Amino acid sequence: MIGYVAGRSILHRAHPYTTLALAGAVLLGAFAMTRPLQVGLLVLGAAGFAALGGGATLRSSAKPALLLALPIWVLLFVLHGLLGPEPRVFFGPVRLSAAGIATALVLGGRVTAIVLAFLTALATTAPHRLVEAMTAGGQPFGRIFLLSSTLTVLPRMRERAALILEAQQCRGLRLGGSPLARLKALGPLALPLVLGALAEVDEQVLALDARGAGDRREGGEGGGGAARRTALDPPRDSTAQRVVRWALLVLVLAAYAWKFRSMRG
């Protein structure tokens, strides 16, 4: 299941910026790794990151990550392994490109690590805590709403689809049968889902307008500016977590410096 998974792990209790910084470090670090062994260690690091979220988080992140990455792995091995340049090595009855296999391992490992890291961040970062953290940091409301809506769109669509499916089945909708019958059954499911999503957008626009979203207020008698919102319950950000975030930045910069130096050498 893709989305937030409630828990009390170290990642759930951490400041949302720390969790996102870890995922971002995996993303940036993936493109600094150019060898299969390096990318393999990065995948293990992403798996360790998911394990910090607890067993439920690991299960909810690892399975979708593998399912999303598997078609890419197959495509990469066909393009680079089977159709890659010489020299070739025998892998059972198949002759594969040695350089192509290395390229496929690097690219596939990058995708797997990035997807796993961000699914873990999505599973351990409560949207309301991220909103409170961004509000406390003085971020613009439009940016906050855009990010929080993106994080919650899949759970909301999944819940709405389940309700529509149950309602249509109560009305006699049959999902079994031939592929053509199943295709016809998509209409009564997709149309209410799309219309419900559009109606929700309209309701959100009215609610945001009533709350003064995007309104520019006078900043006192003599100046103007955007009104600063007050976070009701901002997540606690410790000195240790700030040190971790700066350390991640230093590690990423060091990885790229090492990469460019080895390319020149």
Same domain flag for 95 and 178: no
Same domain flag for 167 and 258: no
Find the range with the poorest average confidence among 70-84, 175-189, 222-236.
222-236
Of the candidates 49, 13, 238, 7, the one whose C-alpha atom is nearest the C-alpha of residue 129 is: 13
Same domain flag for 86 and 17: yes
pLDDT-derived band of residue 222, with 50, 70 and 90 as boundaries?
very low
Same domain flag for 99 and 169: no
Same domain flag for 56 and 114: yes
The per-residue pLDDT for 203 is 76
d(CA 116, CA 59): 11
The per-residue pLDDT for 211 is 63
Q: Is the pLDDT of residue 228 over 80?
A: no
3-state secondary structure of 90: strand
Structure tokens at 91: 């892998």
Q: Is the pLDDT of residue 221 over 50?
A: no
Same domain flag for 18 and 107: yes
pLDDT-derived band of residue 96, with 50, 70 and 90 as boundaries?
confident
Q: What is the arithmetic mean of pLDDT over 23-46? A: 92
Q: If you average pLDDT over every residue of the chain, what do you get?
A: 82
d(CA 137, CA 155): 26
Q: Is residue 194 part of a domain?
A: yes
pLDDT-derived band of residue 117, with 50, 70 and 90 as boundaries?
very high
Same domain flag for 144 and 121: no
Q: Please state the domain count of the chain.
A: 2
Q: Is residue 1 part of a domain?
A: no
d(CA 142, CA 135): 11
Report the residue count for the chain.
265
Residue 86 makes CB contacts below 8 A (sequence gap 6+) with 97
Find the range with the poorest average confidence among 47-61, 123-137, 181-195.
181-195
**pTM for the whole thing?**
0.77
Same domain flag for 96 and 203: no
Q: Is the pLDDT of residue 80 over 60?
A: yes
Q: Is residue 231 part of a domain?
A: no
Same domain flag for 90 and 157: no
Which pLDDT tens digit goes with each residue over 17-27? Answer: 999 999 999 99
Q: Is residue 98 part of a domain?
A: yes
The per-residue pLDDT for 154 is 73
The per-residue pLDDT for 25 is 94
Same domain flag for 19 and 117: yes
Q: Is residue 87 part of a domain?
A: yes
Same domain flag for 110 and 148: no
Host domain of residue 193: 138-216
Q: What is the arithmetic mean of pLDDT over 112-141? A: 87
Q: Is residue 171 part of a domain?
A: yes
Distances 126 to 96, 121, 129, 195, 224 between C-alpha atoms, Å: 45, 9, 5, 27, 33
The per-residue pLDDT for 220 is 42
The two counts, helices (H) then strands (E), for the chain are 9, 4
- 208 or 67: which carries more pLDDT confidence? 67
